C-alpha cells in the first residue's frame, strides 16, 4: 500500500498458507451450516474434537522433528485436515474414532512423509480409508433421519456413555440404494425406490442434498476467489457424471441418475475440497483435469460396484499414486518454444 512505485495492476494480495487455509475453512461453512440444520450441533462438537486431535498430533510431531511450533501450528493446514475428517466420518461416530483417524492422518500420512507440502497422499482420505477398513461397522452407522435425538442424547452417544442402539443408525442414501437393489435382486427399480423410501429426498438423500449444496456453494466461492482452479473439480464431476449418465441411460431401472450421484456421499466435498488439494494432487492444469476425471470414474466404480458405502477416499488415494506419472506427461510446453513432436 505504501509502495507508490508499484503500479496498481501489479499489486498482489498477500498470500500465505495460513490465509489460503483460513479461506478454505470459510468455504466449508455453508456445508457445515446445512449439516447443523440436518443433524444438529453435534457436528460442531465433532469438528472441535478433530481440531483438538489434529493440533495435538501436529504439536507432538513438530516437537519430535524439532520444527518451530508456533509457525506450523497456526498455518491452519492441520485444522483443514481435521475438518475434512469430521465432515466425512459419520456424525455420531464415537469421539475416539474421530480422534484416532485424525491422529493417524497427521502423524502417519502427513508428518512421517515430511510434513506440510510433502505428503503424497491426502491425509484426510488416508484417515477415512484406515478407519473404514479397521472399524467397518462404526464407520457405516449413519443416524437415521426420521429419529429425533436431542443434542444431549447425541452427545452421550458420541462420548460412549449411551449405548449405540442400532435403531439410531441408518445407512447413507448411497448405501441404502445399493442394499435395496441387491436385496431386491432385479425385482425393485431405482425410480420406485427413490420415490417411496424415506431416506431419499428430491433428487438425492433427504437433507443430505442440502449439505452437498453447501459444499457446492463453498466450492464455487473458492473458484471465484481463485483459490482453486476449475480443472480438478470439473474433471471429477465430469468423470463421475459421464459414467453415471452412461449406465443410467443404458438401464435406468438399476442405476441412479448422475444428479443423485453428484449430490450423494462425499461427491461434492471431494470435488471441491479433496481433489483440489495442491499437495497430493497434480500441479499442471492438464494434469489436474486428468486427475479429477480418473478420480471421478474410480469413485463411481468403487461406490456402485464395490463393497464400501462410498468410493471417494479409495479413488483419491489410488489417483494420488498416479500423480507423479500424470505430472510428468502433462508438462505444458515451455513458453516461446515450439512443441516439437
Binding mask 15-54 for other proteins (x = CB under 8 A): ----------------------------------------
Please say which residue, 161 or 183, places its beta carbon nearer to other proteins.
161
Minimal distance, residue 260 CB to other proteins, in Å: 31
For the CB of residue 102, give the shortest distance to other proteins in the complex, in Å: 14
Q: What's the rounded Cα separation, in Å, for the pair 172 and 272?
A: 20
- Rounded CA-CA distance 309/140 in Å is 7
315 vs 13, 58, 99, 332, CA distance in Å? 35, 26, 23, 26
133 binds other proteins, rule: CB under 8 A: yes
Phi, psi of 252 (to 5 degrees): -65, -10
Q: Restricting to residues 288-307, which ones interact with other proteins according to CB under 8 A? A: none
* Least gap, CB of 120 to other proteins (angstroms): 14
Q: Which is nearer to other proteins, 2 or 66 (CB)?
A: 66
Binding to other proteins by residue 134, rule CB under 8 A? yes
Nearer to other proteins, 65 or 202 (CB): 65
- Stretch 47-76 residues interacting with other proteins (CB under 8 A): 66
Q: Which segment (128-136, 166-174, 207-215, 289-297) binds other proteins by CB under 8 A? A: 128-136
Q: What is the 3-state secondary structure (H, E, C) of the chain?
A: CCCCCCCHHHCCCCCCHHHHHHHHHHHHHHHHHHHHHHHCCHHHHHHHHHHHHHHHHHHHHHHHCCCCHHHHHCCCHHHHHHHHHHHHCCCCCCHHHHHHHHHHHHHHHHHCCCCCCCCCCCHHHHHHHHHHHHCHHHHCCEECCCCCCCHHHHHHHHHCCCCCCHHHEECCHHHHHHHHHHHHCCCCCHHHHHHHCCCECCCCECCHHHHHHHHHHHHHHHHHCCCCCCHHHHHHHHHHHHHHHHHHHHCCCCCCCHHHHHCCCCHHHHHHHHCCCCCCCCCCHHHHHHHHHHHHHHHHHHHHHCCCCCCHHHHHHHHHHHHHHHHHHCCCCCCCCCCCC
Contact with other proteins (CB under 8 A) among 21, 78, 105, 138 = 138
d(CA 50, CA 57): 10
Between 55 and 130, name the residue whose CB sits nearer to other proteins: 130
Tell me which residues in 142-181 interact with other proteins (CB under 8 A): none
Pick the binder of other proteins from 17, 22, 55, 100 (CB under 8 A): 100
Q: How many residues bind other proteins (CB under 8 A)?
A: 10
Chosen residue from 17, 33, 48, 135 binding other proteins by CB under 8 A: 135
Shortest CB 24 distance to other proteins, Å: 28
The yes or no reply on residue 245 touching other proteins (CB under 8 A) is no
Nearer to other proteins, 17 or 130 (CB): 130
The binder of other proteins chosen from 20, 54, 108, 295 (CB under 8 A): 108
Q: Which stretch binds other proteins (CB under 8 A): 81-89, 130-138, 172-180, 304-312?
A: 130-138
Residues near 186 by beta carbon (within 8 Å), at least 6 away in sequence: 254
Identity of the residue, 164 or 225, whose beta carbon is nearer to other proteins in the bound complex: 164
Q: Which is nearer to other proteins, 130 or 301 (CB)?
A: 130
CB of 95 to other proteins, least distance (A): 13
Residues lying near other proteins in the complex (CB under 8 A): 66, 100, 108, 112, 130, 133-136, 138
Amino acid at each position: 500500500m505504501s509502495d507508490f512505485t508499484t503500479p496498481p495492476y501489479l499489486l498482489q494480495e498477500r498470500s500465505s498458507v495460513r490465509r489460503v487455509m483460513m479461506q478454505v475453512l470459510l468455504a466449508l461453512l455453508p456445508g457445515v451450516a446445512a449439516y447443523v440444520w440436518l443433524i444438529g450441533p453435534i457436528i460442531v462438537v465433532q469438528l472441535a474434537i478433530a481440531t483438538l486431535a489434529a493440533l495435538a498430533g501436529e504439536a507432538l510431531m513438530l516437537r519430535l522433528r524439532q520444527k518451530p511450533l508456533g509457525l506450523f501450528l497456526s498455518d491452519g493446514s492441520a485444522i483443514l485436515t481435521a475438518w475434512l475428517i469430521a465432515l466425512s466420518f459419520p456424525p455420531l461416530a464415537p469421539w475416539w474414532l474421530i480422534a484416532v483417524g485424525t491422529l493417524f492422518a497427521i502423524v502417519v500420512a502427513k508428518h512421517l512423509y515430511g510434513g506440510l507440502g510433502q505428503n503424497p497422499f491426502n491425509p484426510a482420505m488416508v484417515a477415512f480409508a484406515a478407519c473404514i477398513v479397521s472399524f467397518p461397522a462404526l464407520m457405516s452407522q449413519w443416524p437415521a433421519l426420521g429419529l429425533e435425538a436431542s443434542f444431549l442424547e447425541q452427545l452421550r452417544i458420541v462420548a460412549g456413555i449411551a449405548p449405540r442402539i442400532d435403531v439410531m443408525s441408518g445407512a447413507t442414501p448411497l448405501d441404502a440404494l445399493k442394499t435395496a437393489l441387491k436385496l431386491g435382486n432385479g425385482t425393485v427399480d431405482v425410480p420406485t425406490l427413490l420415490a417411496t423410501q424415506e431416506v431419499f429426498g428430491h433428487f438425492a438423500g433427504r437433507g443430505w442434498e442440502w449439505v452437498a449444496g453447501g459444499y457446492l456453494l463453498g466450492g464455487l466461492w473458492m473458484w471465484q476467489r481463485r483459490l482453486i482452479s476449475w480443472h480438478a473439480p470439473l474433471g471429477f464431476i465430469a468423470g463421475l457424471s459421464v459414467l453415471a449418465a452412461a449406465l443410467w441411460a443404458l438401464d435406468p431401472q438399476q442405476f441412479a441418475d448422475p444428479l443423485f450421484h453428484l449430490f450423494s456421499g462425499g461427491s461434492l466435498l471431494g470435488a471441491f475440497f479433496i481433489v483440489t488439494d495442491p499437495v497430493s494432487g497434480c500441479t499442471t492444469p492438464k494434469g489436474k483435469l486428468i486427475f479429477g476425471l480418473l478420480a471421478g470414474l474410480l469413485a463411481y466404480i468403487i461406490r456402485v460396484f464395490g463393497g464400501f458405502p462410498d468410493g471417494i477416499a479409495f479413488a483419491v488415494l489410488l489417483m494420488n499414486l498416479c500423480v507423479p506419472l500424470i505430472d510428468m506427461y502433462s508438462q505444458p510446453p515451455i513458453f516461446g518454444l515450439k512443441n516439437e513432436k
